[in-house]
Amino acid sequence: MDEHIAAVITVIGMTCDVMGGLYLAYDLLGGENGPLARLTKIVNYSVLLVLLFLTTMGLKFALIVGIAFGTALGLHFDRAGKGIPDTSKFLLGTAVLRGSAITGAVALKENYILGLTMGILVFAMSLVLPKMKISPSMLYHSAKKPQLTWKQVLIALALMAIATGSGLLGASIAHGDAQTITFVFKFGLTFGFAIFVVSTVSPLIEWYSDHLPPQTFGTAGVILFIVGFLIQAIPSVATIFDVAK
């Protein structure tokens, strides 16, 4: 079996194990009032964003940006659910997280100048936009079904335009070619679509996080553990039985 494919399979299996462990611990340590409630939100949104970015941006980019943005989003929603306002220090921390992730991911995908420019702009926007009432916390809602409002659509479109605009500015500074411009538009559209999807399904995720019995999370955790083990065993089984040959 190709080493790259084997590595991807292993990462998927490990992700299932991590989620399974968190869900099981969520049950054992007190559910929504336990110490892992915040971490469970972070992992849920990180996995969702990694999958959304993976569709167009590639695995490395999806892992870096998806985990960073998912972590920031989970922290925003956790505070919003508890009625805790976003302080200047909190916004600075999430801005550094997003800016660093964009810088690293774009530098690996395209070039360092574009990555640094986009990272700085994302960092700045992460500090400025909350002052204009455009923040992930504004998207927080808990409901038993997916929900879509004009407010969510407008925020998704605004963030997509900002992401694309920052990319085009970075491309002009980096003297990017047609391939770079294509990358920027692909990133902007993917980012906007990701925000749109997250804002639509997050009420459902938040509702189940707050209302499902902890035992349900424990059962899901055990299932994910088993699934993760089976997925990680695929490369080894293929090698043992010479399936790849």
Buried b (16+ CB within 10 A) or exposed e, 9-33: bbeebebbbbbbbbbbbbbeeebbe
Record the tokens describing residue 131, joined without a space.
Answer: 């002052």
Q: How far is residue 212's CA from residue 230's CA, in Å, rounded to a whole number?
A: 27
* Closest alpha carbon to 220 in 9, 12, 11, 25: 25
Q: How far is residue 104's CA from residue 116's CA, in Å, rounded to a whole number?
A: 8
Q: What is the mean pLDDT of the chain?
A: 76
Q: Residue 101: its pLDDT value, please? A: 92
Q: Residue 166: its pLDDT value, please? A: 76
Q: Give the helix/strand (H/E) hosting 93.
A: helix 88-109
Q: How far is residue 113's CA from residue 185's CA, in Å, rounded to a whole number?
A: 17
According to DSSP, residue 87 is labeled -
Q: How far is residue 154's CA from residue 195's CA, in Å, rounded to a whole number?
A: 11
Orientation of helix 112-128 relative to helix 150-173, angle to 10°: 140
Q: Residue 24: its pLDDT value, please? A: 63
Q: How far is residue 124's CA from residue 169's CA, in Å, rounded to a whole number?
A: 14
Low-confidence ranges of the chain (pLDDT < 50): none
Q: How far is residue 243's CA from residue 121's CA, in Å, rounded to a whole number?
A: 48
Q: Residue 84: its pLDDT value, please? A: 82
Q: CA Rg, the chain, in Å? A: 19
